[in-house]
Amino acid sequence: MRPGLTSPRAGASLLAGRTILQVIPELSAGGAERTALDIAAALSDVGARALVACEGGRLVSELQARGGVWLPFPARTKNPLRMAWNVRRLAALIETERVDIVHARSRAPAWVALGAARRTSRPFATTYHGAYSGKSQLKTLYNSVMARGDAVIANSRFTRDRILELHPFAAGRVSVIHRGTDLLAFAPQAVDPARIQRLRRAWGVEPEDRIVLLAARMTAWKGHRVLIDAAKDMVEQGMGDVRFVFAGDEQGRSSYVRDLDERIKRAGLEGIVRRVGHCADMPAAFLAASAVVVASTEPEAFGRSAVEAQAMGTPVVVTDIGAVPETVLAPPDVAAEARTGWRIPPGDSNAMATALIQALGLRASQRDALALRARTHVEQHFSLPQMCAQTLALYVSLLEGGAPREG
């Protein structure tokens, strides 16, 4: 980060009047989308024009309310012919809007953005939001666009290491900027109890019931099946007052959802495990929960839910892969009394049940101490101002023609 640039406003004199274009498929729910909104707001705060080119989505109105400008653009397409045509369209848009920097946040539109940025001689930045696996040479080539920026943002050290392993040509251009959490919104004192009660009623949870929450889109690697198996184990051990809530979009995966419903039915957990769809009030959701689970069976590039839940002081149980060791402190990396959550092997429902029973069994003083440690951990490492300041500093370095140092 540039010396002295410790808040978004510190870049005002260097970014005021500049135009930054972010390109993303759509503004729906998700970490990449939320980050795009946060950066747009930070740019607006320092007097820059914050443009976002995408196909729309439920967050467009929030983008506009926070000072950003939506440019309707068919960024979701993966059709090679349409992508080639989109290069010309985006290049024309860049010239018309006098864009200074192009920043891509997803692979298909990143290929378009790369072509348009090169055609117009604009600096090109990328953010590597996902733990792309590169299971074939063709897939590795497709993914490589996210490492082709003049500046490449990795959202964790795990992601940085994955980039350098798969795309060594990016060495020297990769910067680690952890996803930032809005600690004003994700703060227990900021949530009116009425918001929690509304959620519990909407979810059909009785006042005396405790909630274990898995907040993730409905896709197999997010580990819903593992939590169903853990729930069955816990119920058999006599924990009949716990309700397991899946909050997340189906995103068209109807066969997977039907499979989950059938699995719940076979386990005798109807009414105990329930799907509630998209949740628009995640601070209240995390505070309503007695424990939060991140059950991913494949590596998380960052793991936003675990960080936000820790900010709310809610115990977390997470699978110990990907960037999790950066976001949740637990043995053997720290002493048991310094933990901020529980880390378990992926796919291990028995370990999940054991960890959840421990988390739900904390005495009030133990839970309070855990909440304080977790909140402090997030404040020190994953704050929104820190992420915005580091991103704006990177933009400044691009405008000045210098490549960011690897870090």
Domains of the chain: 8-180+383-399 (3.40.50.2000), 188-381 (3.40.50.2000)
Return d(Cα 255, Cα 30) in angstroms, integer. 22
Is the per-residue pLDDT at 130 higher than 90?
A: no
SS3 260: helix
Q: Which helix (H) or strand (E) holds 360?
A: helix 349-360
Is the per-residue pLDDT at 138 higher than 60?
A: yes
Confidence at residue 313, expressed as pLDDT on a 0 to 100 scale: 97
Alpha carbon 232 to chain centroid, angstroms: 29
**CA-based nearest residue to 398, from 8, 4, 19, 10:** 19
Confidence at residue 11, expressed as pLDDT on a 0 to 100 scale: 53
Is the per-residue pLDDT at 117 higher than 80?
A: yes
Contacts of 76 (CB under 8 A, 6+ apart): 25, 26, 54, 55, 108, 109
Looking at residue 206, its amino acid is: E
Tokens 């298909």 found at: 108
Number of other residues whose CB lies within 10 A of the CB of residue 185: 14
The neighbouring-strand residues paired with 70 are: 52
**Dihedral angle computed from the Cα positions of residues 153, 156, 161 and 163, in that order, rounded to the nearest 10 degrees:** -40
Return d(Cα 129, Cα 35) in angstroms, integer. 10
Is the per-residue pLDDT at 161 higher than 90?
A: yes
**Hey, what are 333's tokens?**
């990396």
Is the per-residue pLDDT at 189 higher than 50?
A: yes
Looking at residue 224, its amino acid is: H
Contacts of 273 (CB under 8 A, 6+ apart): 227, 228, 231, 243, 244, 246, 264, 267
Confidence at residue 24, expressed as pLDDT on a 0 to 100 scale: 97
**Hey, what are 203's tokens?**
């979810």
- Stretch 3-7: mean pLDDT: 43
* CA distance to 35, 73, 123, 169, per residue, from 53 (Å): 14, 5, 16, 28
- Stretch 170-198: mean pLDDT: 96
Confidence at residue 407, expressed as pLDDT on a 0 to 100 scale: 45
- Give the confidence band of 6 by pLDDT, cuts at 50, 70, 90: very low
Q: What are the tens digits of pLDDT across the range 13-58?
A: 789 999 999 999 999 877 899 999 999 999 999 999 999 999 999 9
Q: Which residue has the higher pLDDT, 8 or 343?
A: 343
Contact 109, 24 (CB under 8 A): yes
**Above pLDDT 70, what percent of the chain?**
95
Highest mean pLDDT, choosing among 250-254, 288-292, 300-304: 288-292
**Helix 80-96 / helix 107-120 crossing angle, nearest 10 deg:** 50
**Above pLDDT 90, what percent of the chain?**
87
Contacts of 99 (CB under 8 A, 6+ apart): 19, 20, 21, 51, 93, 120, 122
Confidence at residue 404, expressed as pLDDT on a 0 to 100 scale: 53
Is the per-residue pLDDT at 222 higher than 60?
A: yes
Contact 20, 50 (CB under 8 A): yes
- Give the confidence band of 120 by pLDDT, cuts at 50, 70, 90: very high
- Stretch 72-93: mean pLDDT: 96
Confidence at residue 403, expressed as pLDDT on a 0 to 100 scale: 53
**CA-based nearest residue to 223, from 270, 260, 250, 253:** 260
The per-residue pLDDT of the chain, averaged, comes to 93
Alpha helices in 204-303 (DSSP H): 224-236, 254-266, 282-288
Read off the pTM: 0.86
Is the per-residue pLDDT at 9 higher than 80?
A: no
